[in-house]
Amino acid sequence: MDSKNIEEIVKKVLESMTGTAVPARGASSSREIPKTARVAKLVEKGRFEIQEYPLPEVGDGDILVKVEGCGVCGTDAHEFKNDPFGLIPVVLGHEGTGEIVKMGKNVKADSAGKPLRLGDKVVTCMIFKDNPEITMFDLNKQNVGGADVYGLLPDDEVRFNGWFADYILIRKGSTVFNVSDLDLASRVLIEPCAVLVHAVERAKTTGILRFNSRVAVQGCGPIGLICIAVLRTMGIEHITAVDGEPKRLEFAKRMGASETVNFKDYKGIEALAGAVEASFGGHLADFAFQCTGSPAAHSNIYKFIRNGGGLCELGFFINGGDATINPHFDLCAKEITLVGSWVYTLRDYATTFDFLKRAKGIGLPMGELITHTFPLDKINEALKTNLSMQGLKIAVINE
């Protein structure tokens, strides 16, 4: 047993006696917080600049977090390339996580009521400026689409508004969760996983998705792959993944797909639908998830679904154009129940923490979704790697 182990044990004993966390040696305390720190600011389309600012005052309801890592989202990539949200100059990064290094005297617990202490690992969800008293239990129906999110806030005098930075200031009125029981990779994946937890919740509202359902998942980027993992952790066994990349299809199997169909092997939608049908032993899908941003893929997916089946469309996070369907054949005659899905609620966020533990428990390789990591000062490369469609999930990981 080395001194580090002993230190851990002493710390645990002290914690159990006093109920308060004792910061481990080397853990952050206020005297170790530097005067200034870096942010990666998008200063023009296609270019982040590393800028250094004095760290802001931490108010009574605020939390200062030392950033450990942050995933690069498709939203970041769009903003980097074209500024569709008109946010420049902006510190991006909303899939971040880090450690509490300082907090105001009024901060006691996270948005789920779990105690918060120095050294805890946290993530943020949405910010309710207009109603800071709102709690996660009010929010079954309120979707994050209408709220603010760190990493998509306009620049202001605080500066530390996004997770692509050394530090972030979590202001009073924000939602924050203590996720100290999850590893770094899981914590970086919480935000995208919440999108799929929400999509599956939407799918369940149709009453069609069941344990023994045959489910087709179209698109095996991060969203489709996580979709498969969520379905698998729910106990759904018959999952066919559809994509055009053999490598992604292989990974889909490791995430829980029972069968795969490479659409490039089939000419025309009839042949492709036949392959999906064959993958389920001669049955069409009871339910399908559309996880690509391709209008043609939306048009096609109806052909994979049986009469009376269901469809969840969640692939279009930006406007990808119009899709053509035949309302008679695709919807009416088949009595398809269609739901759309958009981001998540706070409740879904909390469900996601449990999903990640279950996924790990049944051996799904969630951490391998993060295929590329970059330090903060290589953020331009990180975004370019994302745009080049290499790999799956790209993350900025701080030293």
Site stretch for Zn ion (CB under 5 A), options 71-79, 114-122, 148-156, 253-261: 71-79
| Smallest separation, CB 94 to Zn ion (Å) | 6
User: What DSSP assignment string belongs to 310-355?
Assistant: EEEE---SS--------IIIIIITTT-EEEE--S--HHHHHHHHHH
Site stretch for Zn ion (CB under 5 A), options 66-74, 241-249, 254-262, 371-379: 66-74
Subset of 309-328 contacting Zn ion (CB under 5 A): none
User: Which pair of tokens denotes residue 267?
Assistant: 């000419």
| Smallest separation, CB 75 to Zn ion (Å) | 5
Q: How far apart are the first and last CA of the chain?
A: 27
| Smallest separation, CB 226 to Zn ion (Å) | 12
- Measured from the CB atom, is 73 or 90 closer to Zn ion? 73
Site stretch for Zn ion (CB under 5 A), options 52-60, 69-77, 98-106, 145-153: 69-77
Q: What's at 140, amino acid-wise?
A: N
**β-strand partners of 69:** 97, 397
- Please check whether residue 170 is in contact with residue 149, taking contact to mean a CB–CB distance below 8 angstroms: no
Residue 73 in the binding site for Zn ion (CB under 5 A): yes
Residue 77 in the binding site for Zn ion (CB under 5 A): no
- Measured from the CB atom, is 73 or 273 closer to Zn ion? 73
Give the contact letters, 261-290, x = binds to Zn ion (CB under 5 A), - = no: ------------------------------
* Coil, strand or helix at 129: coil
- Measured from the CB atom, is 194 or 241 closer to Zn ion? 194
Site stretch for Zn ion (CB under 5 A), options 65-73, 224-232, 310-318, 386-394: 65-73
User: Which pair of tokens denotes residue 281?
Assistant: 């032993």
Backbone angles phi, psi at 99, to 5 degrees: -115, 140
Task: Give CA torsion, residues 54, 59, 62, 68, to 10 deg.
Answer: 20
Q: How many chain residues bind Zn ion (CB under 5 A)?
A: 1
- Measured from the CB atom, is 73 or 239 closer to Zn ion? 73
Site stretch for Zn ion (CB under 5 A), options 68-76, 97-105, 279-287, 316-324: 68-76
| Smallest separation, CB 366 to Zn ion (Å) | 16
User: Which pair of tokens denotes residue 19?
Assistant: 């109920």
What are the start-end ranges of the E strands in the chain? 36-44, 47-54, 63-72, 90-91, 95-103, 121-127, 148-149, 167-170, 174-178, 214-218, 238-243, 259-262, 285-290, 305-313, 337-340, 370-374, 393-397
Give the contact letters, 21-60, x = binds to Zn ion (CB under 5 A), - = no: ----------------------------------------
- Measured from the CB atom, is 73 or 223 closer to Zn ion? 73
My answer on whether omega of the bond before 56 falls inside 30° of 0, hence cis, is no
Give the residue at shortest CB distance from Zn ion. Answer: 73
**Letter string b/e over residues 211-220, b meaning 16 or more CB atoms within 10 A of that residue's CB:** eebbbbbbbb
Interface positions with Zn ion (CB under 5 A): 73
